[in-house]
Amino acid sequence: MDDRMPDTRKKVAKFLSSEGFSSLIAAFLTIVLGLFISFILLFIFERNVSLDAFRVMITGSFGTIGVQKGMARVLFYATPLMLAGLSFGFTLKAGVFNIGVAGQFVVGLLTGVIVAIRCEGVFGDYLWLAAVLCGACAGAAWGAFQGFLQAYFNMHPIVCGIMMNYIGLFLITAICEADPMVYAKGRGWTEVVPLKAIMPDLGLDRIFGQTSAVNIGLYIAAALCVAAHFVLKRTTFGYEIKAVGHNAYASQYAGINIKRTVILTMMLAGLFAGFGGAIQHLSAADTHYAITDALPQQGFTGVSIALIAMGHPIAIIFAALFIAYLQVGGLGMQAYGLQPDFVNVITSLIIYFCAFNFVFKHWYGRLFKWLRRAK
């Protein structure tokens, strides 16, 4: 029957059954389901303002704060989320679950703060670059160590990742608290980083206004996503990563060093997360970082972003923008009297349902095959 099918129908069928289209359909369905369940929850608990509050979340609160300011906030929030999502998505290709994204993120963040404060006057106008690169390298080292434990000691990736998250958090905060130049004793936060450590806006202030915090970090995040896509698609190392992810035993039989691949993949994942952490704090002037025993939420949100994008580096850019858009809309919902915790529940619920991307993709594939057989 397929041989008699016209070329146009064959092309349409091939497109509908393609990996990219099925991923797109799965992402759309998970987003719609998450939004629907969120609205039901909002209607149950806040019936009087549910429609208006939901509208603000859907429109990203652009109607209240303006398109320019709203877009600036979305891009600012999306920048570290891109890198956190890339950190998890990159390892996903190797069949490794990098649950340690949050730990690598905070290690990179506070390393960048330490370098920015400690090295004031050393690097001149390039202090921001030195701080960001040191934060990225610290994240890479922490990720490589986690990869080493998983590769050579066969530690469970989830247990290892959770453990390394808190070890990294408490270790780097202990280093900060021991340095009087970095830690404001008695206040519970770090000192303000020098102005030269703040990342330049590279002309983005002319687009989004002088008060926006959008900076060169947006270009760095997007460039790293593109670079990761190139590595996976066009390099031998990328082929090894995907081969290990598909079948580790067959890859080993073919001569691929699995331990080396896992460690290098985790190192690059830590590099991405470290970049995200450093960029997160060095994007806005006159800000302190509160030293707490809580891991940064961006690390866990990055996991959902990678799942929405099915681990595809380019799709991670758009998934991060979508999640940041929801976060900005969630902030606008507070104008209707909703408590911040309830807003977090709504946005988190949407993110949670987006993690079912793999399930919907599997169902779509089975449905499409069934429809083709029915014909």
Give 139-197 pLDDT, tens digit per residue: 999 999 999 999 999 898 889 999 999 999 999 999 999 999 999 887 888 989 999 99
Q: In this model, does residue 262 exceed pLDDT 70?
A: yes
pLDDT of residue 1: 46
Mean pLDDT calculated for residue range 326-342: 77
Structure tokens at 336: 């209707």
**Residue 79 near residue 218 (C-beta atoms within 8 A):** yes
Q: What is the mean pLDDT of the chain?
A: 86
Pick from 166-180, 266-280, 332-346: least confident: 332-346
CATH class of 18-374: mainly alpha
Contacts of 89 (CB under 8 A, 6+ apart): 305, 306, 309, 311, 312, 313, 316
CA distance 118 to 319: 36
CA distance 143 to 147: 6
pLDDT of residue 282: 93
Q: What is the pTM of this model?
A: 0.88
Question: What percent of the residues of the chain are helix, what percent strand, and what percent coil, each to the nearest 5?
Answer: 75, 0, 25
